Amino acid sequence: MQLFSFLKKEFVKNVLTLVKGSVASQVILYLSILVLTRIFSTELFGIYMLFSSALLVLKPISTLQYEVSLVLPKKDQDAFHLGVFSFVVLLVYTLLILFGILFLKDTLSDFFGLDKLSFFLYLLPISVLFFGSISIFEFWNNRKKTFGNISNGLILKAGSMSAIQIGSGLSPFNYLGLIPGLIIGQFLHLLFLLGKSIKEIREQLKGFRWNQSLQLAKKYKDIPLFNTVISITNSLSNELPVILISNYFGLGAAGIYGLAAKFMKAPVGAFQQSVYQVFYNRASNVYNQDGDLHSLVLKTTKNLLILSMGLFLPLFLISFALENLFGSNWKDVGLYARILIPWLLTGFLSNPINSLIVVLNRQKTMLVLDVFLLISRFLALYFGYHYFNSIIYSLGFFSGVGFVFNVIFYVYLLSISKVNSKSY
């Protein structure tokens, strides 16, 4: 009876809705990886991981993180104005990336050793445009509590992307690798979310005023001023291994690391992002109603801690069989995966609740912490290469730094959740 009552709670129901889509999409990706690792080389995987890392680093700037603010206003009309402003910023940014690639193509190709595959760089602005647009629509659906749309969109993207990647891998166009499948999957994902929101967009456009968008952008200026930089530094520090390993140890090594990270992050991220989306919505409402954020954080942490036990133990055990699952070309993929566990486990507890930074307008402090994290991670990878010439040492130092900073982040988030003063 208590279980039934627990499952009926809105917070839990919303999390389960998102988890359903996240888990289903990750199952699809896992199954596809078993095929993809046998039809694509480690080098092509390395290029794909490098492209994905560049995408994740560039994405936070694409909208100046204004889409994050869509959940905060009390009125839907205000949120819509912020959404339009986010999209305009995204379009301008996409053009800037394109111009940058036109001027820096040869330099980037030489640094990462892309050789004849440098044409993939021109696909980066397209992918950024799709990724940024998807993010805007997901936060709008978060605001409207239509979590089913977010969930189903993830499944559609995973299914279409995997099917196209496998199809291209078995075709004469195998040399194109995995990137075209990613972009087509993003495009279909965006079309789905647009279709679900088009009716309301038309209604909201009737009351749209550009001056109001500018006023609201100014009101929430702390988000682009600090949260964008926070997101950039955080994304860059998370993706540093792929970027530096490709330069230090080659694209093949970057591909093996990328697969190990993907294996570990996929199920962890599925639950983590689902809890983040719902927690952010709930925390915003609790804050606006002068509720108890500290209790919400403690309850969320307790549930995450229980969930982590059932998530990381199976991942640890399965990691010993990864070489057999993926094929002989993927030696050490299981070892790399196990090295990342301390970092990912503590991140699983702290990352879902870091939306408190936006809700309580504490971006300045978080920016300082994230800059120190980025510098520390760079030094960890640098020392592992230059003093030990070992990818194992590099990843070990990297994971250790992540573990320490995740603990610091969590303690800080727990402390600020006790504050009741208004931030905006």
Please give the angle made by the CA atoms of 386, 390 and 394, to the nearest 5 degrees: 80
Q: Cα angle vertex 10, ends 7, 11, to 5°? A: 90
Give the whole-angstrom CA distance, residue 275 versus residue 147: 11
**Residue with token string 């986010």:** 86
pTM exceeds 0.85: no
pLDDT band at 194 (very low <50, low <70, confident <90, very high): very high
Q: What pLDDT does residue 131 have?
A: 94
Give the confidence band of 94 by pLDDT, cuts at 50, 70, 90: very high
- Cβ atoms 380, 401 nearer than 8 A: yes
Least confident window among 146-150, 214-218, 420-424: 420-424
Share above pLDDT 70 across residues of the chain, in percent, rounded to a whole number: 93
Instruction: Give the domain ranges of the chain.
Output: 2-416
Provide the residue type at 292 as one letter: D
Buried b (16+ CB within 10 A) or exposed e, 123-158: bbbebbbbbbbbbbbbbbbbbbebbebbbbbbbbbb
pLDDT band at 207 (very low <50, low <70, confident <90, very high): confident
- C-alpha distances (whole Å) from 402 to each of 243, 252, 263, 265 are 17, 24, 18, 14
What's the confidence (pLDDT) of residue 3?
42
CA-based max dimension of the chain: 64
- Lowest mean pLDDT segment, chosen from 23-32, 220-229, 276-285, 344-353: 220-229
- H/E stretch holding 24 reads helix 10-39
Per residue in 168-179, pLDDT (tens digit) is: 888 887 777 789
- Residue 7 CB neighbour total at 10 angstroms: 10
For 138-167, the pLDDT digits (tens) are 999 888 888 888 889 999 999 999 999 999
What is the DSSP-derived secondary structure letter of residue 76?
H
Residue ranges of the alpha helices (H) in 170-250?
Answer: 179-205, 210-219, 222, 228-248
Confidence check: pLDDT of 4 > 50? no
Residue 1 in this model has a pLDDT that exceeds 50? no
Instruction: Say what the pLDDT of residue 423 is.
Output: 55
Kindly report the average pLDDT of the chain as a whole number. 85
The sign of the torsion formed by the CA atoms of 59, 65, 68, 70 equals negative
Closest to 112 measured CA to CA, from 238, 239, 249, 233: 249
Tell me what the mean pLDDT of segment 305-320 comes to: 90
Nearest to 28 by CA among 133, 156, 121: 156
Angstrom distance (rounded) from CA 246 to CA 257: 10
Report pLDDT digits (tens) over 249-289.
Answer: 888 888 899 889 888 887 787 778 778 877 888 888 888 78
What's the confidence (pLDDT) of residue 312? Answer: 92
